[in-house]
Chains A and B, each alone.
Chain A
Amino acid sequence: QKEVEQNSGPLSVPEGAIASLNCTYSDRGSQSFWYRQYSGKSPELIMSIYSNGDKEDGRFTAQLNKASQYVSLLIRDSQPSDSATYLCAVNSGSSASKIIFGSGTRLSIRP
């Protein structure tokens, strides 16, 4: 089993709708992260979430459930500029100091 699993997509969402991205992980990591990667670019951090529950930042909401080893990202009012690959990551290892990524979900916002 891979350490971090995501649906590869592509996920197609109409402009203005809510995009929902999901991620499960095998190690009981302490922190979770969502990165966005545009084609040909490097990953950039969108959200980090360390505690169970929801964390909101503008149009983005991350939800973490450590017991279920599940983290999600909701994007409200989706814009064409949100079209990218979204990478879920968790820290892992005995000292929780290595960051492991999922393979990413490709999101396409259609006008």
Chain B
Amino acid sequence: DAGVIQSPRHEVTEMGQEVTLRCKPISGHNSLFWYRQTMMRGLELLIYFNNNVPIDDSGMPEDRFSAKMPNASFSTLKIQPSEPRDSAVYFCASSPAGGVTEAFFGQGTRLTVV
């Protein structure tokens, strides 16, 4: 299996622009997680899905952030409008059985908002 695939690997955008991050989970995994990692705050859980349904989005920082999972093989995280403080590495991870088993991470998207 190719593992969790994220795109793009790097994104540089101007403040105020819309940013869309993409994730393809491992086939057969029924849970998907979006994390954000910064030096100051570490690895924060933003939202997670079970069977394509958002279960807990309490980590989403504000209304500028939204996430969707239209099917079992694809998810997006959108930031609109983007701000410099959104600069971070965003990871997508998937798990075969919710959080009962471990999560497998993608390579991450490094987002820079200037």
Q: B56 contacts A101, CB within 8 Å?
A: no
| B: contact size bracket | 20 to 34
Interface of B is mostly: strand
* Count: A-B pairs, CB below 8 Å: 66
Q: Which one, A12-20, A41-49, A65-73, is touching chain B?
A: A41-49
Specify the chain B residue showing the minimal Cβ separation from A30: B100
- Is A51's CB within 8 Å of the partner chain B? no
Q: Which residues of A contact B95 (CB under 8 A)?
A: 99
What is the 8 Å Cβ interface bit string for chain A, positions 89-111, against chain B (1 contact, 0 not)? 10111011111111110000000
Known contacts A91-B99, A96-B98, A98-B56; is-contact A42 B50 (Cβ 8 Å): no
A71 to chain B, nearest CB (A): 14
**Contact pattern, B 28-40, Cβ under 8 Å of A = 1, otherwise 0:** 0001010100000
A residues in contact (CB < 8 Å) with B = 30-31, 33, 41-45, 48, 87, 89, 91-93, 95-104
- Some 29 contacts from A to B, beta carbons below 8 A apart, are A31-B101, A33-B102, A41-B107, A42-B105, A42-B106, A42-B108, A43-B91, A45-B103, A45-B104, A48-B102, A91-B99, A91-B100, A93-B56, A93-B99, A96-B99, A96-B100, A97-B31, A97-B48, A97-B50, A97-B99, A98-B56, A98-B99, A99-B48, A99-B95, A100-B45, A101-B45, A102-B42, A103-B41, A104-B43
